[in-house]
Amino acid sequence: MGEASAGTDGMPKEGTESSNVVTFGRQGGCYVTKGVAALLAILFLSALVATGVLVYYFVPQVRETRHDNLSSAPTTNAKDTPESSPIIGTTSVAPLREPPVAIVATAATPVASSTTTVAPKERPNVRLPRALKPLHYVIKLQPFVNGNSSIVGYVEVEMEVLEATSNITLHIDSILTKNETVKVSSKDQHPGERTVAVTSHAYDPERQFYVAGLAQPLQPGKNYILSMEFVAHLNDHLNGFFKLSYRDVAGIERWAAMTIFQATAARRAFPCFDEPGLKATFEIYLAREENMSSISNMPIMESLPVEGQKGWMWDHYYTSVPMSTYLVAFVVSDFTHVNSTAIDHVLYRVWAREEAIGQANYSLEIGPEMLVFYEYYFGIPFPLPKLDSIAVPESIGGMENWGLITYGESLLLYEEGVSAAANKQRVGFFLSHELAHQWFGNLVTPRWWSDLWLNEGFASFMEYLALDHAEPTWKVMEQFVVMDLQNVFTPDGLESSHPISIPVEHPDDIKQIFDRITYGKGASIIRMMYHFLTEATFRKGLRNYLIALQFNNAEQDDLWKFLTAAAHEDQTLPLDITVKMVMDTWTLQMGYPVIKVVRDQAGTTASVTQEHFLLARKGNQSKSRQSPLRWWVPLTYTDQDNANFGYTQARLWMSDSQTHLNMSFFPSRDQWVIFNVQQSGYYRVNYDDHNWNLLILQLLADHTPIHALNRAQIIDDAFNLARAGQLSYDVALRVNAYLRKETEYVPWAAALTSLDYLDNMLRRSPGYGHLKNFMRDLLVPLYDSVGFVDNLDDPHLEQLKRVKALSWACKLHYKDCVDNSVLLYSQWMLDQTNHSIISPNLRTTVYCTAIAAGGQKEWDFAWGQLLASTVRSQREKLLDGLGCTKRIWILSQYLEKAFDEESGISKREALRAFTSVAKNDMGRHLAWDFLRSHCNRIRKRYSSGSTLGRFINVATKSLNTPLELKELHKFLADNKVNLEPASRAVDRALETVTNNVDWLGTNHGLIVEWLQRQGYSDSSFP
């Protein structure tokens, strides 16, 4: 992406002005005298009064679609905002003067103030000047949740002056400021000398800057306070300060309002210094109706009536610890809560709507346990007096706001006997992840979004440690290999990947890096470091880092410094190697290596090389890179004679300057060797054909001497090396022959993910019957071992394994699985209130299979169940199942319903519905056509470029013909502007489809021929 030319402080310079002074030239327009302005104000006020409520609904749209000026606040509706503003004259707040007459700029109305309009610039630098440092905010908000969605607000921000400056620059977005109320005063002067005159107000829409021009420069070393009144809006974008609705058991629509400010949306709720490195303390006041409650980061200090507004209360919160703006949070709702008594020094509560609070017990049980684990692990007590977790009835993720974590309901609520084992595990992971953020991200925060991975990568790894502590029988540390490491290998094996530490400036770029690379790769390389440093050293370094930098900001080099000190002290890393030397090669460049191990004829020595691994065949690799990528690789290995799968420290380091190593001390030629013990390193391994054959023979004879994680590694590496053209499919497919005897969950999960690519690519080819019978042959023994009948008392991993087995058996049309699914679904249709007929674990498979085998009647029944259900996890399963029908006209109707605001499917649920159609053989082209036809509609509906990117990835993932590739090129060319916020997803989709086309042309015939030689026909299978 383009970067604006900038000075050393990161701000564009104009003329000879100081880089800490933002200046805008006058861009034309009509400018009038104050007398004329007053007349215009009176005339315009009359128009506003005449339009009443309509204006209030329109005003926020003006700010979002036009960035003409910073105007005074609009005239308010008497029903929702009384003449005596709630921010003025309350018992707990010193009275403020009455706001001035409002002027709202429209297309036909000239700006009647000193506000200056600014023409947007192409991709400017959006970093704030560094002349000012925020210290403390006072924020007072009255959101009209049950009214017209307006927010009447007031903000004070105390600032320390670091360099002399003649203006104050803050972030705002979709806010109308009352310019006449903007005041700047010095804390350090006598009362009569405090005011600094504000001479101008300007708004830069591209950078989302509000700039107050001052009559005199602010003096370095002194503190000043800027205050202003403003009007904002509760949006419906699930970002910023937004409102959402739900229906109670009586069917009555109810409303709530909440915040998600990450990464750059706090500026939509109040003017602020909206960058993670600019921490401050926050004193928050929220006005709410008496029948509702509010929660924020800190406990409520007092609640007092809003003067002049019957039925309204002010909640005044204790001042927060220093934190970044994106972590500020508040919720206004009529939800209820339950308290935990497990921790004596932290008030731990879980909130949900009244009808769902009974599903909060599991979260209330393991949340405090994991919080205490983190306190012990990091050696730092949780720094706030309370921690709230709230489940909201929307399809949102988790957000780690300090002291107030928000979740979508399916991520926090679990009901025994109703929710599936996978739902329970998901709740555990999300709880653990967001709790980890209370230290990693909140206590110590990245200085800028380029190091977002310090937040997300560490939380994505630490979540496994804490959940393993809470649920040790789940073996989540083993599940890491298939859930994160192998999962992220695929996108990171593309030329369109990116480093996990990446320069970003514009908000659109920041949103795009909340992706699998940041989360999954970040977690995987931290896990690698955890192993090569050892757990004790890793933990010591983390503790020292967090203690030294608590309440401050950091960059990755700060962490490397503390980890290196711990490693050298513990002698777990050679003194001539630093963590920075090693980890910079993994964070500052994309991709990962494949380590090739080729043993000599005797087998006792080997040549070891590293090479950048790409999923595309070598002939398709980019020639643009000047030098090949190399890494510091911690080599671990074991062998058949002295198998030791417990030692995961590096036995040998391959540096980023080495492409080749000669190693000895291997066993004789008839004994296998395995590199990357427990797949602890973030790299693939390839061997010579002889060693591959030794591994295959061992797996077939007795697979148990090889650790389950290395069995999963061997499967995943073999399939992906073959996909990349670095290993024959003969080897990769022979590796899987042992699976008929495999009983462990993790190797099976790795195998089914690898087989899924073959299934997806060949499903529409004439040779698919051969592949289907091969996969059935592998799966039937697993299916028979777990059985179709589910048992919720089985061990957790046994339940997960049964779900995998049944899902694939039904997908491959195995008759016993299909018949059982259809039978259970028909029984449910006859007794639709009996939700115990289908086990929670089997619902996704049963719904999909029965709806695929059925017709309109089965689909309509599921649709009715969806509309009636308020349980988020159940809705997700029904949304998945509805996309499984083989009736094309029903799929087409489903897509239309998914994007109909009145259908009963929410905006966020529409993506899930779209995905279920795209995964269906009969629906993949419908989804692709829908995206092409409605790209602009989807772009407008979703404010996030990352969400648009998910639509693109889902719709294009299975495309694999030259015609489809041509269609993709045309689609990208025709929608270049709409797709710009999702540029990374676009690049990934184009590379993926190009690779699919090339792969199919190269491998289809080879794979079918191999299957035929093994005796797999294309005939039907029971």
- Indicate the burial class of 1013 (C-beta count within 10 angstroms; 0-12, 13-18, 19 or more): exposed
Confidence of residue 102 (pLDDT cuts 50, 70, 90): very low
Least confident of 432-436, 750-754, 946-950: 946-950
Q: Return d(Cα 1002, Cα 548) in angstroms, integer.
A: 55
Confidence of residue 191 (pLDDT cuts 50, 70, 90): low
| Bridge partners (DSSP) listed for residue 420 | none
pLDDT digits (tens, 9 = 90+) for 800-829: 999 999 999 999 999 999 999 999 999 999
Stretch 917-941: mean pLDDT, rounded? 91
Q: Which helix (H) or strand (E) holds 856?
A: helix 856-868
Query: Which pLDDT value is given to residue 30?
Result: 31
Single out the residue in 333, 364, 383 at which a domain terminates: 333
Residues 575 and 455 in one domain: yes
Single out the residue in 317, 333, 349 at which a domain terminates: 333
Residues 371 and 314 in one domain: no
User: For the chain, what is the mean pLDDT?
Assistant: 86
Residues 343 and 327 in one domain: no
Long-range contacts of 438-443 (CB under 8 A, 24+ apart): 438/371, 438/374, 438/382, 438/387, 438/400, 438/402, 439/374, 439/378, 439/380, 439/546, 440/546, 441/400, 442/323, 442/327, 442/400, 442/402, 443/380, 443/383, 443/546, 443/550, 443/551
pLDDT at 83 over 90: no
Residues 369 and 227 in one domain: no
Percent of residues, the chain, with pLDDT higher than 70? 86
Residues 360 and 328 in one domain: no
Confidence of residue 21 (pLDDT cuts 50, 70, 90): very low
Q: Return d(Cα 714, Cα 684) in angstroms, integer.
A: 9
Residues 393 and 533 in one domain: yes
Q: How many CB atoms lie within 10 A of CB 666?
A: 21
pLDDT at 688 over 70: yes
Q: What is the DSSP letter of 98?
A: P
pLDDT digits (tens, 9 = 90+) for 303-344: 999 999 999 999 999 999 999 999 999 999 999 999 999 999
Stretch 869-895: mean pLDDT, rounded? 93
307: left (phi over 0), alpha (psi -120 to 50) or beta: beta
Q: What is the CATH number of the domain that holds 72?
A: 2.60.40.1730
pLDDT at 229 over 50: yes
Would you say how long the chain is, in residues? Answer: 1022
Report yes or no on 231 lying in a domain: yes
The phi, psi pair for 200, rounded to 5°, reads -155, 160
Q: Give every CB contact of residue 662 below 8 A, 6+ residues apart in sequence.
A: 605, 606, 607, 608
Q: Return d(Cα 98, Cα 92) in angstroms, integer.
A: 17
pLDDT at 133 over 50: yes
Residues 318 and 170 in one domain: yes
Percent of residues, the chain, with pLDDT higher than 90? 74
Query: Which pLDDT value is given to residue 506?
Result: 75
| Bridge partners (DSSP) listed for residue 349 | 339, 388
Q: Which helix (H) or strand (E) holds 418?
A: none
> What DSSP string runs through 60-96?
HHHHHH------PPPPPPTTTS-SS-TTSS-SSS---
Q: Any idea what the Cα angle at residue 129 is, between residues 238 and 60, rounded to 5°?
A: 30
Report yes or no on 791 lying in a domain: no
Cα 321 versus chain centre, distance: 25
Query: Which pLDDT value is given to residue 1022?
Result: 57
Of the residues 415, 434, 478, 964, only one is catalytic, namely 434
Residues 352 and 261 in one domain: no
Q: Return d(Cα 519, Cα 517) in angstroms, integer.
A: 6
Q: What is the CATH number of the domain that holds 364?
A: 1.10.390.10
Query: Which pLDDT value is given to residue 616?
Result: 86
Residues 216 and 348 in one domain: no
Confidence of residue 1021 (pLDDT cuts 50, 70, 90): low
Stretch 609-628: mean pLDDT, rounded? 72
Q: Return d(Cα 219, Cα 863) in angstroms, integer.
A: 65
- The verdict on whether 434 is a catalytic residue reads yes
Residues 532 and 414 in one domain: yes
SS3 of residue 214 by DSSP: strand
In 92-222, beta strands by DSSP E: 116-117, 132-143, 150-161, 165-171, 176-177, 183-186, 195-196, 198-204, 209-218
Query: Which pLDDT value is given to residue 997?
Result: 95
Confidence of residue 389 (pLDDT cuts 50, 70, 90): very high
pLDDT digits (tens, 9 = 90+) for 146-188: 999 999 999 999 999 999 999 999 999 999 999 999 999 998 7
Single out the residue in 554, 587, 620 at which a domain terminates: 587
Report yes or no on 311 lying in a domain: yes
> What DSSP string runs through 703-754?
STTS-HHHHHHHHHHHHHHHHTTSS-HHHHHHHGGGGGG---HHHHHHHHHH
CA distances for 469 relative to 462, 476, 721, 853, angstroms: 11, 10, 35, 43
Query: Which pLDDT value is given to residue 251?
Result: 85
pLDDT at 73 over 70: no
Burial code of 775-792, b = ≥16 C-beta within 10 A, e = fewer? bbbbbbebbeebebebee
> Which amino acid does the sequence have at 873?
S
Query: Which pLDDT value is given to residue 278?
Result: 97
pLDDT at 105 over 70: no
Report yes or no on 392 lying in a domain: yes
Report yes or no on 248 lying in a domain: yes
Q: What is the DSSP letter of 219?
A: P
Q: Return d(Cα 985, Cα 928) in angstroms, integer.
A: 15
Residues 327 and 340 in one domain: no
Q: Return d(Cα 296, Cα 332) in angstroms, integer.
A: 9
Query: Which pLDDT value is given to residue 126?
Result: 86
Report yes or no on 243 lying in a domain: yes
Q: Return d(Cα 91, Cα 108) in angstroms, integer.
A: 41
pLDDT at 15 over 70: no
pLDDT digits (tens, 9 = 90+) for 704-736: 999 999 999 999 999 999 999 999 999 999 999
Its domain, for residue 968, covers 934-1002
Omega prior to 536 cis, within 30 of 0: no
Residues 326 and 431 in one domain: no
Q: What is the dihedral of CA 882, 886, 892, 896, to 10 degrees?
A: 0
Report yes or no on 175 lying in a domain: yes
pLDDT digits (tens, 9 = 90+) for 416-475: 888 999 999 999 999 999 999 999 999 999 999 888 898 999 999 999 999 999 999 999
Q: How many domains does the chain have?
A: 3
Query: Which pLDDT value is given to residue 618?
Result: 53
Q: Return d(Cα 126, Cα 2) in angstroms, integer.
A: 12
Residue in the structure block whose two tokens are 């790795």: 750
